[in-house]
Amino acid sequence: RDFGARVPRVLADACPLGPAGDVNGDGYADVVGGAIYFGSPVGPAATAAATRALEGCGTGVGDVDGDGFGDVMVGAEVVYGAWSGLAAEAEWRFDDVYRAVAAQDVDGDGFDDLLLAAPGFSSDGLTQRGRAQLYQGSAQGPALPPSWTRMGDAAYEWFGECVAGAG
Nearest to 48 by CA among 73, 75, 24: 24
pLDDT value of residue 97: 64
pLDDT digits (tens, 9 = 90+) for 117-144: 888 899 999 999 999 999 999 998 888 8
Q: Tens place of pLDDT for every residue, the chain, 167 residues? A: 444 444 443 444 578 888 999 999 999 999 998 888 999 999 999 888 866 667 778 888 889 899 999 999 887 788 899 998 888 888 888 776 667 676 688 899 999 898 888 888 999 999 999 999 999 999 988 888 999 999 999 999 999 888 776 65
Global pTM reads 0.79
Does residue 16 sit in helix, strand or coil?
coil
d(CA 134, CA 123) in angstroms, rounded, equals: 18
